[in-house]
Chains A and B, each alone.
Chain A
Amino acid sequence: GAVVSQHPSRVICKSGTSVKIECRSLDFQATTMFWYRQFPKQSLMLMATSNEGSKATYEQGVEKDKFLINHASLTLSTLTVTSAHPEDSSFYICSAVAQETQYFGPGTRLLVL
C-alpha cells in the first residue's frame, strides 16, 4: 500500500520557538494532504486541507498565521507551528489522498515546554 512519512516523529521545543513538521508521500503523488491534531483520549481533529500549488483551507477556529502550511510539491506538505506555546503540545498527523483513499502518516508528537 501507499506509504506516508512524517518527520520528525517527536520534537520538544521551548515556548516561543517555531517547529516545522514534514509530511511526505513516498511512492505516490498527492494533490491533497490533510493535517490533523489529536489530543489524548480524543479523536482526530482536522486542522486544514493542504492543496498542492494553492493555499491551504483551514478549519474554523484554526489560526492560519499560527499553523503555516506549505504544499510545495506533489509529495511534500509542511506544517509550521509558529511561536509555539504549551497548549500547542499535541499529536499531529498528516494524511495523503491517493485513489480516493487516505493514507496516514505515523504522526509527530510535539511537546512545548
Chain B
Amino acid sequence: KNEVEQSPQNLTAQEGEFITINCSYSVGISALHWLQQHPGGGIVSLFMLSSGKKKHGRLIATINIQEKHSSLHITASHPRDSAVYICAGRPPSGSRLTFGEGTQLTVNP
C-alpha cells in the first residue's frame, strides 16, 4: 500500500463538468501539495495546505487532517485543464515529498 494514494488514476470529463480528485495518506504530514504536470512535463505547484480549504480561480483544495484525506476540485472544467494532477505529502520535518501516483485528467470539448 502506497503511503499516498490518489483516485481515480484516470478521469475523463466533458467541458464544463465539476471534477474531484481524491488523495489519501497514511503517513504523518505537515502539509500537502497539489501539483499539475502538463504533457510537456513541467510541474506547477497549485496548492500547499495544512488545514481547511484554499481556492484559486476555478481550483479548490481541501484537507481533512483527522481523516488524512485531501481533495482537489475543478469547477467548470476546460480542455486546458487536461494534465496529470499529483498530490504529495511533506513530512513534519524536512522538505522531502512523498508523491501519489498521479491522476490523468482529460477534459473533452
Contact = CB atoms under 8 A, between A and B. Distances in A.
A101 B45 contact: yes
B97 A102 contact: yes
Tier of interface size on chain B: 10 to 19
A101 B44 CA distance: 12
B30 to A, nearest CB: 8
Contact of A104 (B43, B90, B101): B43
B48 A93 contact: no
B42 interface: yes
B25 interface: no
A113 interface: no
Nearest to A44: B99
Interface residues of A, number: 22
A102 B33 contact: yes
B41 interface: yes
A104 B95 contact: no
Interface string B20-61: 000000000001010100001111110010000000000000
A103 interface: yes
A112 B91 CA distance: 35
Contact of B41 (A1, A93, A103): A93
Contacts of A95: 43
Interface of A: 1, 32, 34, 38, 42-44, 46, 49, 91, 93, 95, 97, 100-107, 109
Given A100-B90, A100-B95, A106-B41, 18 more contacts: A32-B95, A34-B95, A43-B99, A43-B100, A44-B43, A44-B86, A46-B97, A91-B41, A100-B31, A101-B48, A102-B33, A102-B45, A102-B95, A102-B97, A103-B45, A104-B35, A105-B42, A107-B42
